[in-house]
Amino acid sequence: MHDSETFLAAAQDLLGERGLTHDPDLVGPWLTDWRGRFTGRALALASPESTAEVAALVALCTEHRVGIVPQGGNSGMSGGATPDASGSQLLLSLRRMNAIRSLDASAHQAVCEAGVILEALHHAAEAEGLRFPLSLGGKGSATVGGLISTNAGGTQVLRHGSMRALVLGLEAVLPDGSVLDQLTPLKKDNRGFDLKQLLIGSEGTLGIVTAATLKLEPAIAARSLIWAGLPSLAAARALLLHCQAGEADALEGFEVMPRHCLDTVLRFLPGARAPLAGAHAWHALIELDADAAGADALAARAEALLAEAFERGLVEDAAIAQNEAQAGAFWALRENIAPAERAAGPAVQHDVSVPLESVPGFVEAATAAVEARWPGHRAVAFGHLGDGNVHFHVIAPPGVDGLPWQETEGKAISRFVHDLVAQWRGSISAEHGIGQLKRDELRRLGDPVALAVMASVKHALDPFGIMNPGKLL
């Protein structure tokens, strides 16, 4: 037998029929990332059902030097869960490990296996009068393991932080097959390096997250949604500071979009209506939330906050959603920017962050620079102003053929945008991770000192390089 056959036979013995498959119909759907940018091949698809099986499998992979590509819901944005083209890597799905091992409502904690789907966690928390305060578009497929490995963000980071802030404990299988059990949540623990933090956001290159203890919050009992029309992004930042000064504890989200994005969504979304009558250069969507204790007072607080903003000249116009249906309609305008733009024509996307106070300056400078250098193109920035994180999209001129444009101008534009981000001391990956999509750009623009440390740590923990090879580093 070839070595790969020996390996596969041993893996089959270990995992049983359900746990390892070569069936192209079963494996195929998981070989392409969901944006369709990367397609790979795999030795097989392994689906262990327990941490012990993952540990034994990883030890086997180490013995045979087989690369492992961990995968959750396959809804990542950077190709981080797609194997390479060699066919020599094992695709390791965590989807069968989908148990919520425990949910302690009084402690506000849930212990979830890596394969728990985000929406399932939302429902389990809701059933106990709680919530898990992180959500994103792929919530119906994204898994806890993937969210942790990519340190996922979303629209609630402003108040609750990224995934990193919500992980109280972690269990992971390390490259040598040992199990790091740090599931017990200790609010204070100063026994050396925080290995949990090292694994969060490491994209499966240091180990495989198999379970986590996650933080839950009281359910939302009331929310107030404000839509504001603004003359500039600088005005949006002033409004954000106003909201943070007055209602920091209630401020759940602060999203911005320029007029062009709103117009694109209004053309795309059947029945959609502009929240405000007039035209504004920028729009902000602001959510204030309260749990049961603060529910009654919230509407009055939102009105007072907005009244003061009018008084101080911080908004051109604004509206408060009058009911949940209208609140849903406001959010739909924000959530449909990406699909509306995809439908409108080819574009290149950049998930970037800069220091909070630099966002208006960066967006203005980058928009002007891109549009001057590529005439006919349009740059738009929208997203999470409160996190310093905008999605900076550059839209091809009308009539351009998408594919060749992506490969030529598109790539040149991305490099140009990333150069600007580096000059502004920002990040070329605010929330989507590096994966295989941005690996070369990270090498080109990343701090050589930080990259050297990462390489050292990677080599120390994974000397044979079997953990998600070709990703991130």
Q: For residue 225, which phi and psi values (nearest 5 degrees)?
A: -115, 125
Using rule CB under 8 A, residue 192 touches its own copies:
yes
By CB under 8 A, the residues from 359 to 388 that bind its own copies are: 384, 386-388
Using rule CB under 8 A, residue 186 touches its own copies:
yes
Query: Which of these segments, 94-102, 335-343, 368-376, 442-450, binds its own copies (CB under 8 A)?
Result: 442-450
320 membership: H or E segment, kind and range: strand 317-320
Shortest spacing between CB 109 and its own copies, in angstroms: 9
Q: For residue 198, which phi and psi values (nearest 5 degrees)?
A: -65, -40
By CB under 8 A, the residues from 245 to 274 that bind its own copies are: 245-247, 249
SS3 422: helix
Using rule CB under 8 A, residue 182 touches its own copies:
yes
Shortest spacing between CB 219 and its own copies, in angstroms: 12
Return d(Cα 382, Cα 380) in angstroms, integer. Answer: 7
Return d(Cα 72, Cα 453) in angstroms, integer. Answer: 27
Determine which residue in the list 111, 118, 206, 370 makes contact with its own copies, applying CB under 8 A.
Answer: 206
Contact 240, 260 (CB under 8 A): no
Site track for its own copies across 103-142, x = CB under 8 A: -x-xx-----------------------------------
Tokens 């009105």 sit at which residue? Answer: 303
Q: Which is nearer to its own copies, 118 or 437 (CB)?
A: 437
Backbone dihedral region of 318: left (phi > 0), alpha (psi from -120 to 50 degrees) or beta? beta
Q: Which is nearer to its own copies, 69 or 148 (CB)?
A: 148
Contact 144, 229 (CB under 8 A): no
Pairing of strands 378-384, 347-353: unpaired
Shortest spacing between CB 184 and its own copies, in angstroms: 4
Longest dimension (CA), the chain: 79
Shortest spacing between CB 25 and its own copies, in angstroms: 34
Shortest spacing between CB 178 and its own copies, in angstroms: 5
Site track for its own copies across 339-358, x = CB under 8 A: --------------xxxxx-
